[in-house]
Structure 1
């Protein structure tokens, strides 16, 4: 067994463990990875990857695979930027109903946040339902899963390849992210998400949690990817590298910027990040060199727990204080 963490790692673990306590914990377990200037200062796992639904509990491990939910949007955005850099996609040209790829990337394309695609009979009908939606005022920001679903379809059309193949070719392959892929995946290393008796899917483990991603076959622009803390740290560090994804970093395409509501003390005008509904998050700041990946299974066994980002802010606050970036 490895020795207990000390220093920064111990502070981060303590902050995250606090949200596993009490009769209704925010999550059963977590994996965190923190780094600065490319050097890992903490990579720890605690709690349970699976502890509901019968059977033997499965402890969380540093290489546990998570359904990363909306962190998938960052990979869709990266594909868009890489295609634009190759001249295959013009970010400021209309790509769908007069809407540009840049507008879809920045949630200003006029689509609502979400609709339920379940009632439609097949993939074609589901995409047609999105296509028929009225658009709101152009330029108004509305965080939209639907916009990224459309963007994923646009990228497939432009490149002539499925989205999962594009992500593998342009992102996960070049970065050596062997544990990052769309589901379904082998459940053996996967943290369980929600028990869904009302859908007939039961306890989800290795199947995508997001309902609309599921209805679209598991591969969609807004959700569907599974990954590990290490892989996401590799991805985050690559984005901090100006040479690899400079346009994405400078313009924040697809990323959230300076979000104290969940970044806590790591929020700054230069901080980039994203969260996932299942309890995942990634924040990276090129100004300070800080990177924090926090993966939890907060929807296991119900999405009613961990709905506040207090746990994200707490861990971020400890990291900021420990390495002297608070208020930077």
Structure 2
């Protein structure tokens, strides 16, 4: 350090422990003290050095000969300058101390641990953020009740029906923006096989639109046990396309896996690309969501949290829990995606930023607004386009605003 000081005066000394380190290097022009060396403080220090967050701390002690108690230089975060002065990046999620935004996380952590103690679950991961600032990222418990592997913040979960919005709805949003589809297009326009083989349903199924499937108003059943059928994935798909409606189009809202499976195949038909590859290249890779994928690679299997014990007594791990998705090769519109809390935090922040994350534009603001507001196909329905909005009995509780949107998954994800 002293040799560096001799060569340049553009040096920042950062301490991850004792604040008195500066006494050994009095020539240092800039001193940043983080007090601890845990992961949260390391990330906070990096964000401060890169200008991603404000520096507002004050010394809690006096450092003799250097600075008095309460001293500290406030530094405002910087925005990247571009040729377009009106452009601003979308906030990116960063780790902060809970006190920075006035949150006490003790109660939250206590509830998570209580759930483990009472065996509501063997373990869980929770990430909470406000205005792009992660105030809690907690992992409690273990993967299983035998406590062989502790839960870690970076562990990977089977998202179940969250796949419907993160993957399939996002893919539809992309096709909508490129004008490859219109929301009122009949599904059969892009996927003729959806008409099926039963002539008595031709007219009804020909009238089901992309918007109907997104809002679960297409009249299709919630699900069918296609996985019990003999044959190949293609023969099961044939059965899916041949599924008869149980209600009239637009008559009622029936949450339907069948309809979203069809939407996934529609994406593939239009794009000429498998669904998993389409969302990987258009959504996940641009966002840096490196731990979001279908069919987790074997080298990451130890990080995948099991979902259930199968009838033979084996853990369901590293392959999709949903039987229909599994029987289709693990890639489907309604289920099959795996991810981490951090990756979902990135995606959620992008959506809250109206499609922008940092300097990466994923969706147009008007597209996000269109898909995350109530579609009002049926009066009183909470359904948006793909997404859901709060209702009187929302699983998200009673404190969600009217502009909130979200989704849950059968495996306990949300």
Confirm or deny a common fold (TM above 0.5): yes
List aligned pairs for 1:200-279, cutoff 5 A. 202-244=314-356, 245=363, 246=365, 247-252=367-372, 253-259=385-391, 260-279=393-412
List aligned pairs for 1:248-327, cutoff 5 A. 248-252=368-372, 253-259=385-391, 260-281=393-414
Q: Whole-Å Cα distance in 1 between the matches of residues 234 and 104 of structure 2?
A: 50
Q: Whole-Å Cα distance in 1 between the matches of residues 227 and 155 of structure 2?
A: 30
List aligned pairs for 1:121-160, cutoff 5 A. 121-135=231-245, 136-139=247-250, 140-160=252-272
Q: Whole-Å Cα distance in 2 between the matches of residues 193 and 250 of structure 1?
A: 34
State the partner residue of 1:89.
181
Q: CA deviation at 1:14?
A: 1.6
Q: Whole-Å Cα distance in 1 between the matches of residues 369 and 255 of structure 2?
A: 19
Q: Whole-Å Cα distance in 2 between the matches of residues 193 and 229 of structure 1?
A: 16
Secondary structure at 1:41's aligned position in 2? strand
| Residue pair 2:161, 2:408 contacting (<8 A) in 1 also | yes
Q: CA deviation at 1:145?
A: 0.7
State the partner residue of 2:311.
197
Q: Whole-Å Cα distance in 2 between the matches of residues 143 and 236 of structure 1?
A: 23
2:210 to 101, 105, 109: 101
State the partner residue of 1:115.
224
Q: Whole-Å Cα distance in 1 between the matches of residues 319 and 120 of structure 2?
A: 22
Q: Whole-Å Cα distance in 1 between the matches of residues 317 and 409 of structure 2?
A: 16
Secondary structure at 1:214's aligned position in 2? helix
Q: CA deviation at 1:2?
A: 5.0
Q: CA deviation at 1:124?
A: 1.7
Write 1 or 2 for the structure with the bigger share of strand.
1
| Residue pair 1:49, 1:64 contacting (<8 A) in 2 also | no
| Residue pair 2:142, 2:149 contacting (<8 A) in 1 also | yes
Structure 1: which 5+ residue stretches go unaligned? 282-328
1:165 to 253, 277, 297: 277
Higher relative contact order (Cα pairs below 8 Å, separated by 6+ residues): 1
1:229-285 Cα distance to aligned partner (Å, 9 max, x none)? 00000001111122444323443221110144311033231111111111100xxxx
List aligned pairs for 1:51-62, cutoff 5 A. 51-52=145-146, 57-62=148-153
Q: Whole-Å Cα distance in 1 between the matches of residues 368 and 333 of structure 2?
A: 17
Secondary structure at 2:338's aligned position in 1? strand
> For structure 1, which segment, 153-162 or 183-192, has the greater mean C-alpha deviation from structure 2 after superposition?
183-192
| Residue pair 1:258, 1:269 contacting (<8 A) in 2 also | yes
Secondary structure at 2:401's aligned position in 1? coil
Task: Tell me if 1:73 matches 2:164.
Answer: yes
State the partner residue of 2:134.
40
What is the aligned length? 274
Q: Whole-Å Cα distance in 2 between the matches of residues 143 and 249 of structure 1?
A: 22
| Residue pair 1:184, 1:218 contacting (<8 A) in 2 also | no
Task: Tell me if 1:19 matches 2:128.
Answer: no
Q: CA deviation at 1:206?
A: 0.8
Q: What TM-score does the superposition give when structure 1 sets the normalisation length?
A: 0.78
Between Structure 1 and Structure 2, whose CA radius of gyration is higher? 2
Q: Whole-Å Cα distance in 1 between the matches of residues 242 and 267 of structure 2?
A: 20
| Residue pair 2:354, 2:368 contacting (<8 A) in 1 also | no
Task: Tell me if 1:28 matches 2:122.
Answer: yes
Secondary structure at 1:16's aligned position in 2? helix
Q: Whole-Å Cα distance in 2 between the matches of residues 112 and 119 of structure 1?
A: 17
Secondary structure at 2:140's aligned position in 1? strand
Instruction: Name the Cα RMSD after superposition.
Output: 2.0
Structure 2: which 5+ residue stretches go unaligned? 1-36, 41-96, 189-204, 357-362, 373-384
